Amino acid sequence: MPRKAFLQDLSQVSAPGTFTHLSRVRLGDEDSTVIFTYTCPISAQTIDFNVAILDVSEYPDGHSYFAFSAADNLPGVIATILETVQLKFRGWNLEKFLECFCDYLDQAARGQLPIPDLQMADDFDGNSDTDQMDWDELSNGPEIRNSADTKRLRVDLRVTKLAGFKVGYLGDPAGAITVTVSCRINKLGISEDAMQMWNVLPSQFIVLLLRYPQGYAGMDRIFSQSHMAPDLVHMHVGICDAYKPTVESFADVIHHLSPVVSSSKAEFRLRASFITESLEGLLNERFLHIIRYRLRHDFSWTGAELFYNDSQGKSFNAKEAAHYKYHVSEKWNKFTPGFIKADGLSQRTSSFELALPLVAMQYMLRRFVKCAEFCLNCHCKTDANFEALQPYVCSNPLCLYQYMQLGMGPKLEWEIVSQQYVVDMLVSFTYARASTNELTDLPIGLGLKVPWVVGLGSTTTPCTAVFDAERMMLWTEQNHNVKEGEWVVIKAANDPFSTQNSPSLHCIVLYTGDGSFLRLSEPVILGFVPNGEAWKHEWNTVKFVPYRTNFDQLSNKVKMEAIMMLLDTLPNVHAMKTFITSGGSPEHNTPLSSWTQRISPSALYVLRWIVASNRSCIVHDDNPKHRVTGMGNYMQFRLAQGSPDKEERLVQALQYAQSKDYPTLFAWHGSPLNNWHSILREGLNFARQLHGRSRGHGVYMASMFDTSSAYTSQYMTYTGWSQSTLGITGAMSLNEIVNAPSQFVCKNPFVVAQLDWIQPRYLFIFCKPPKNQWKPGTETSKIYKQDPHHIALGPNGSHIKIPVSALSTRDGKSREAALIAAEKEASAHAKKKQKSSEKGIPKGAVVITLGDDADSVTTLIEDRQLLESDTEEELKDLDSHQALKKSYTRDDLSKTDFRPGTLKTDTLKLLGPPSYATTQATKCLQRHLRETMKVQDREPLHELGWYVDPTLISTVYQWVVELHSFDPSLPLARDLKQFGLTSIVLELRFPPEFPISPPFVRVIRPRFLPFMHQGGGHVTAGGAMCMELLTSSGWLPTATIESVLMQVRLAICSTDPWPARLAKGRDYAFQDAVAAFIRACQVHGWKVPEDFSRIQA
């Protein structure tokens, strides 16, 4: 049960010494709260924290953490931590939450930046003035001049921000500028396995930079220039740890930018990847053309891309553009997030209405999440009939050539250093397939040169020479025309050169002299017995041939022999790793191409091709907690296949599972070694028939390891790769499949035709000699509970234990709770939203409500200033985007008796623009209002519990707020119903020094029973809220209005010492509230804000 799991985890983490700086971890007063003490590693200051486990019935998968502290003078940096990081812990188990929460506190205390989201003050001293720093910097940031282009820039950035993206800029808003638009990777809906293959992290951002060397230009201006003005905007794509990079990290591209104050950290550098480099080429070469085609012909993105490809070098008329193939709709899978599917171009008819940053970002993200469907070189859709995680090139040989020549794919050196066993395995599988003459996907178009003298394409004649083995020299009188740097193969004088299986020496020519002799490198020796040196003594006269025969012109059979020969000339992977890392640091790896005397260019190209063409995610994970136990000496690899959304499709298919207790089962798939090269590239399928299929068409699997092992042909004699350190003799995969045997083609063995129901999890290989990769006695931490009727068994019928960590999701979270469906019918009910119990929250506690990921990222000073309006009248600049406002449905209103927009304003005194308004406070309040409205638009009305009517805000210095939808068990809720009321009306007035000074919050109506008559709710006799938070003693400038409203609501709902009750009487008067607030401060010793008198007018 969830609660039992929570208590069990709590008992484990409460042991003394579990965490370095956390102590006294224990159960709180409420059953679902945890209390602990944090000790600052710098000052030894201690802070007590309370953590409420919201939705504990969803533990450990769907719950949330709500951390707060009742400590006096809580350091501002800690309050910021509370405000920004808690959302990240949703669905984490208690141990992981406490460990990471403590780590964030430690880094903040040391003045470090824990994560890119936290652009916060560095000082941990709660008595310092650093809490005011950000607001001081805001007024002292770079000056924003308001030209027509700057105003257009501001509007375009606001539109982009409203669409859910983070925006910023580098440079001068009125001059040369680079606009940045970004989105966090974990919001894109791609699987954890795809992230790993694409070398990105969930916490990172994908960043689009639009560089305007001549100043910002709207799309209408760009299109009005001849040839679509390619010089007006240049686009770049990269990965960054923050929502925008530093100017320094982008210096090679934007060196012309004027220096500008930036609060971005130096370590936030822009990093390119093989995917972003391809996207960058697409954006700069084709994107503006594609937009024009869309506007002109009303194409979709897909149609415009196809039209662009077809129209190159041709003149298309209107009739040809009307062809149905160009008017196809976009195809999205059901799991793609809505903001990625959004199309800002579809509702526009002219370039004037378009915000180029938004349209470019939407197009770039579309291609990023679909990158595996498109060629990395020509950008066209590939014709592959299988799904893949890794993007590659199409079947055009020219694309493969450019892909390899330009180094567009994953870096070979990085793959060897990080996963040397995987590289060894990939080469071994390729070699095994070539040895059986079944390697159909060949590296055509790379310009490979091989030493061949017979068969189609051969134009080379062997030369005879005298061989000096001691000095590695060849003496010849024949005309050979061999050049320095060429590779040659040397064989015995009587060798007919009809095969590559005979003994040979492969060398690079170091020096040719006058042509009568060749000085050679140390040879790569093939075909001799191990450590055999007969060639040194017996080869006096030899024949040699240079690497000159064009690989592409050979027959397929000879091509496969050539590939095997080239692979045999390579050193083993461990030796390559040693060479690569000889540079001294990971940042200075030595490229294999510089090992010129050991690896030929042709062999290196084949190696790159093998690694780059792998389409599966394979990881040798040596963590004992992730191993499948009971597998003896079989070597284990984590394995995932399919498109980036394959994991989501498997989860969706769980609805067909026959057992909700055990929605999936595990089964083995065995196949001969020579088949695994294609399986890793195309995935498990049944396109080719190998074994008769007596039980029907589908993928064959079995619960018994020994049954599937019979299909591996493990004991057949294969010609293996001579340089392999693994010595692979067999391979099998362990696959997770939907537990619906009644819908399989066959139940024994399992024959599954639905490929979406299958996801490989592990690949097991048997090595000769066996590799013992695990430490004895290590155990998997959490075990997957198998269906008792379909238990996967290991070798010789042994029981195996499968770790839950094998089951990853696109969110990177454990699916343990999702798979223990016996505890809840997860698929039948929507997940509960976060909701506080409104009990047990101490008075004065710092309680922060959490927004989504985009809201949690603090926008830097210069970007905030550009986005802020110049005047209050600019609050309505985006009238064309009012459709984004919340429209409450009947379902929303059925859950509450409150009706928004019904408050009668004739009795409310609404202020005009106050005389004390300041630029700093005005801009800050505009930002707070926008953020508050975003929260209100996003959250369900009955769960939010407060409502701000924007039509009642005549000045940002006065807000009217209604609190509603109270817990029916509260006496206050019963009183409201008795009085015929549905809400409590509050007024918030903001001082000129906001956010340094707190707002003044009072109740307008109804009247509350005063404290002296045993009335609670923290409402004074004059209607002012009695809360230290709203005084200079307890206010934090970093607090959001959303958090203030929640804390006010919690205070009113508090039953300690008495619950709030209503009393008959007229509305509270403003001056009575002011006087009551001052009295309350005097009684409690709280400091009245210095500018409080100025809001009383």
- The answer to which of 7-21, 356-370, 414-428, 508-522 has the lowest mean pLDDT is 7-21
Tokens 């992290």 locate to: 201
Q: Strand, coil or helix: what is 169?
A: strand
Is the pLDDT confidence value at 124 over 70? no
How many whole angstroms separate alpha carbon 769 and alpha carbon 728? 9
Read off the pTM.
0.58
> Can you give the pLDDT at residue 963?
95
**Selection from 1044, 862, 1036 nearest residue 81 by Cα:** 1036
Long-range contacts at 1024-1028 (CB < 8 A, ≥ 24 apart): 1024/1000, 1024/1073, 1024/1074, 1024/1076, 1024/1077, 1024/1080, 1025/1001, 1025/1051, 1025/1077, 1026/1077, 1026/1080, 1026/1084, 1027/843, 1027/844, 1027/1001, 1027/1051, 1028/843, 1028/844, 1028/1084, 1028/1086
> Can you give the pLDDT at residue 331?
81
Provide the Cα torsion 396, 400, 402, 403; round to 10°: 130
Residue of higher predicted confidence among 1 and 1056:
1056
> Can you give the pLDDT at residue 839?
35
> Can you give the pLDDT at residue 127?
33
Is the pLDDT confidence value at 393 over 70? yes
Residue of higher predicted confidence among 958 and 345:
958
Is the pLDDT confidence value at 403 over 70? no
Is the pLDDT confidence value at 314 over 60? yes
Tell me: the pLDDT tens digits for 56-115?
777 877 777 777 776 666 676 676 666 556 656 777 888 888 888 888 887 777 665 443
Token reading at 619: 């990881």
> Can you give the pLDDT at residue 883?
36
pLDDT band per the 50, 70, 90 thresholds, residue 575: very high
* Helices of type H across 164-251: 192-197, 219-224
> Can you give the pLDDT at residue 810?
33
Q: For the chain, which domains are there?
A: 2-129 (3.10.110), 148-383 (no CATH), 412-459+551-614 (no CATH), 461-547 (2.40.30), 624-688+695-717+725-814 (3.90.228), 868-1095 (3.10.110.10)
Q: What percent of the chain has pLDDT over 70?
A: 77
- The answer to which of 138-142, 217-221, 451-455, 708-712 has the lowest mean pLDDT is 138-142
Q: Strand, coil or helix: what is 670?
A: strand
Instruction: Return the ∠ at Cα 417 (arms to 415 and 419), rounded to 5°.
Output: 60
> Can you give the pLDDT at residue 424?
95
Is the pLDDT confidence value at 669 over 90? yes
Tell me: the pLDDT tens digits for 510-537?
998 887 889 999 999 988 766 667 788 7
DSSP string over 266-334: TT---B--HHHHHHHHHIIIIIHHHHHHHHHH---HHHHHHHHHHHTTS---HHHHT-GGGGPPP---T
Longest C-alpha distance within the chain, in Å?
A: 119
- For the segment 150-159, the average pLDDT, to the nearest whole number, is 85
> Can you give the pLDDT at residue 748?
86
Q: What percent of the chain has pLDDT over 90?
A: 22
> Can you give the pLDDT at residue 599?
95
- For the segment 920-936, the average pLDDT, to the nearest whole number, is 86
- For the segment 638-653, the average pLDDT, to the nearest whole number, is 76
> Can you give the pLDDT at residue 940?
85
Identify which of 46-50, 198-202, 687-691, 984-988 has the greatest average pLDDT. 984-988
465, 543 Cβ separation under 8 angstroms: yes
Residue of higher predicted confidence among 217 and 406:
217
pLDDT band per the 50, 70, 90 thresholds, residue 819: very low
> Can you give the pLDDT at residue 1053?
92
Residue of higher predicted confidence among 324 and 147:
324
Per the document, the length of the chain is 1097
Residue of higher predicted confidence among 232 and 468:
468
Is the pLDDT confidence value at 677 over 60? yes
**Amino acid (one-letter) located at 471:** R
702, 667 Cβ separation under 8 angstroms: yes
